[in-house]
Every structure is written in structure tokens, then in C-alpha cells.
Amino acid sequence: MGDNNNIIPSTPNVPAIHIDALCRNSIELVRYARRIAANQVNLVQLMTYYALGYWIVEEQQSGQNRAGYGKKVIQTLSDALNEEFGKGFSVDTLENARKFYLNYQNRISETLFRKFAEEKSETVLRISDASVPFTLSWSHYLQLMRIKNPDERRFYEIEATKSAWSIRTLQRQYNSSLYERLALSRNKDEVMRLAQEGSVVEKPADIVKQPTVLEFLGLEESTKYSETDLESAIIDKLQKFLLELGKGYLFEARQKRFSYDEENFYIDLVFYNRILRCYVLIDLKIDKLTHQDLGQMQMYVNYFDRCQKLPDENPTIGILLCKEKNDAVVRMTLPENSNIFASEYSLYLPDKKILQKKLQEWIEEETGGGDD
């Protein structure tokens, strides 16, 4: 008999067991159990802070924002909790608990609140995933509560939950004004949808941002760089570039070559979007976009549609990342309902206040809010 380290020898009443399957299943079970435990601990923490905020606001302040009285209440409560538990309930923490309740006071029903905070019933921890009132960590909500616009705050909460963003990623997406950049690429109804559903990718225009922010590349505006330098920097930071592009992207190739009429052509970057089920071609332009650039991209898209995509796949999308674009030139060069888009890129984080003002002006124009 030869040695077999992957098999546990059988006994008269116990069948042979493959040790690799045993280990794999056991590891998956422990991971699952730890995830469930972590989720439960997180939910209990958030509901506890919510309850503390509720009592501070509703019972001690009668729902009013009485600053002087509120500070005394919070200081007294902080002293009592820290005396009992040692630490963890500073004035700042309780101030944040109060703010947490004020921002999310409609998330928990009176029945659920009473069962948890007053009856101390553990049945509240067995609520379904669809009914969980809070889906992120306390640290995430501390970041979200800094966002004044409730629609914008809700958007980032949805996106952070769907995409399992870390705290750092949430901060980066907020600092890069993702909400405003997506909103400025959509119509009025779709802007409202951002706050309700997050970023939904259903059509080619949904994957375009205005502008595309590439601050993570580390290139300086004042430094002379070529399109090859820009491409190489993107490849070096591909994971961050994929995050900036958005949902569903898979990288396929750089400098993708194809030949036509004995002439070679090269596409800077080729991706595939599994949500839209189509190729996405990206060409990089470090200068002002021209109609020749748009025509060249049209040829690339035509080639992929005719020679690369499968019959059940959707038409190819072309995106020109450029330093500067003229919307009028884009409109006059491309046919209506074209799958080709131009997006200016920025090597630094945009000024959020400027984008917010631009978005507000655009919404007022769409709704006629600027009319007397």
C-alpha cells in the first residue's frame, strides 16, 4: 500500500474522508461564522449608538436642538458610562451618537427600537438581511455624517454597501466628487435615482463620468508627459483605475493591435464590461480633442463590432479620455445615439464646491427653477 496523505484511513464504521475537502469546508464554515458574528457585533453597536442618540434627543432635549442644555446632558451621560465601563463613551462619541440618530431617525421602527433598547430582546438580531437598518460600520457612518446633502449621503451609503468599500475608498470617492460627476452625466430623473438606488449601469452613458479623476497616478499638471507616460501610469495603478472606471470592468489588453488594408492600428486600452456585456475601448489624448480623434475611435468601435464581438454581445463602447474637449465638436462629429463618449480627465481632485454649484445650476435649468 502506498502513502496517501490526503486520505484519513477508514475504520469499520467510518468511511474514508478526503482531508482537503474537510479542511476546505471547515475553513469556509469558520469564515462564515466569523462574518456572521462580526455583522451581529456591528449591528448591535450601531443600534446602541442609535438608542443613545434617541434618548439624548427625544427624552432629554424633547426633540429640540438646545445646545447649552444638550452639552450638559452629554457630559453627564459620558461620565456615568465611563465610570461604569471604563472608557469608550467620550463626549465626542455621544455627540456622534446624537448626530447618528438625527441623520437616520427613520431607519428603525418604534417596535424594533422598543424591543432592543427597552425590552432588551435578542429577537431583533434575527431580522432578515433585507430588513437590516444599517449595512456599514460605525467608521463608515462617521464619514457619511459629514455629508450635508441627504441625497448625496444616501448615494455613498448605497455604493459603499454594494461594492464593499473600505473607509479609505469611501473617502477617496467622496473627495473625488463621484456623486456630482455621475449626476452631471445624467438627466434630471436619473439624478434622483442616484439617491435611491446608487449608480445603476444599464446603458453605455451610465459608465461615463465628467470628469474622470486620475489623481492617484501621481502625475503633475506642470510636468511634461506623453500619452505613453499616461498609459503606463494607468497600467501601474490598474486596480485604482478600475475603481475609478466603475462597476463591471475587466481588463483585456493595452496597445491592442489590429490590421486593416495592410496598415496597423493600436488601441490604447481594451476592457470588457460584464454588466453591459460589451467591449469598452479607451483612447488617451493629452491635448485638446479633435474631430480626427473621434473619427479614429469610430473606426476602432466599428472594427470590434464587426470582427471581435460575439453575436449575443452588445455593441462596443468607445471612450476618449482627453485633456480638453469641445462638446459642440463632439456633437457635430458623432452620429446621434453614438456609443462613443468624450470625458475630460483631471490629474487632481476636483473642487467639490464648484461641481456642486454646477450641478445645482444644471438642475435648476432642467426644472425651470431659474425662471421668475
**pLDDT per residue over 283-298, tens digit each?**
999 999 999 999 999 9
Cis before 211 (ω within 30): yes
Percent of the chain surpassing pLDDT 70: 89
Q: Which of 1-5, 100-104, 155-159 comes out lowest in average pLDDT?
A: 1-5
The b/e string for 248-273 (b: 16+ C-beta within 10 A; e otherwise) is bbeeeebebeeeeeeeeeebbbbbbb
Per-residue pLDDT band for 22 (boundaries 50, 70, 90) equals confident
Q: So what's the pLDDT on residue 313?
A: 97
Does residue 187 fall inside a structural domain?
no
- The domain boundary, picked from 109, 125, 141, lies at 125
Does residue 103 fall inside a structural domain?
yes
Does residue 222 fall inside a structural domain?
yes
Q: Give 7 or 209, the one with higher predicted confidence.
A: 209
pLDDT tens-place string over residues 116-154? 888 888 776 676 666 788 999 999 999 999 999 999 999
Mean pLDDT computed over every residue of the chain: 86
- Grid cell listed for 99: 448626530
Q: So what's the pLDDT on residue 369?
A: 56
Q: So what's the pLDDT on residue 2?
A: 47
pLDDT tens-place string over residues 35-67? 777 778 888 899 999 999 998 888 776 655 555
Q: Give 31 or 8, the one with higher predicted confidence.
A: 31
pLDDT tens-place string over residues 292-327? 999 999 999 999 999 999 999 999 999 999 999 998
DSSP secondary structure code for residue 266 in this structure: E
Q: Which residues does residue 41 pair with via DSSP β-bridges, in sequence order? A: none
Q: So what's the pLDDT on residue 62?
A: 63
Smallest Cα–Cα separation from 195: which of 235, 154, 231?
A: 154
Same-domain pairing of 320 and 216: yes
Does residue 109 fall inside a structural domain?
yes
Q: Does the pLDDT at position 77 exceed 80?
A: yes
Q: So what's the pLDDT on residue 38?
A: 77
Residue 284 sits in a domain whose CATH number is 3.40.1350.10
Q: So what's the pLDDT on residue 372?
A: 44
SS3 256: strand
Whole-number Cα distances in Å, 197 to 78, 132, 193, 228, 248: 37, 16, 6, 38, 17
CB contact at 8 A, 282 and 269: yes
Q: So what's the pLDDT on residue 20?
A: 76
- The domain boundary, picked from 67, 93, 125, lies at 125
Q: So what's the pLDDT on residue 37?
A: 76
| Residue indicated by cell numbers 449608480 | 199
Does residue 288 fall inside a structural domain?
yes
Per-residue pLDDT band for 254 (boundaries 50, 70, 90) equals very high
Q: What is the mean pLDDT of residues 329-355?
A: 90
- Grid cell listed for 179: 456623486
| Residue indicated by cell numbers 469558520 | 30
Same-domain pairing of 91 and 217: no
Same-domain pairing of 228 and 114: no
pLDDT tens-place string over residues 139-196? 999 999 999 999 999 999 999 999 999 999 999 999 999 999 998 877 777 887 888 8
Domain that holds residue 223: 212-349
Structural domains counted in the chain: 2
Whole-number Cα distances in Å, 327 to 258, 323, 330, 331: 29, 13, 5, 6
Does residue 168 fall inside a structural domain?
no
CB contact at 8 A, 272 and 278: yes
Q: What is the mean pLDDT of residues 351-359?
A: 86
Q: So what's the pLDDT on residue 7?
A: 47
Does residue 194 fall inside a structural domain?
no
Q: Does the pLDDT at position 238 exceed 60?
A: yes
Same-domain pairing of 233 and 119: no
Percent of the chain surpassing pLDDT 90: 54
Same-domain pairing of 94 and 222: no
Q: So what's the pLDDT on residue 324?
A: 93
Same-domain pairing of 120 and 225: no
- The domain boundary, picked from 76, 100, 125, lies at 125
pLDDT tens-place string over residues 213-227? 999 999 987 778 999
Does residue 160 fall inside a structural domain?
no
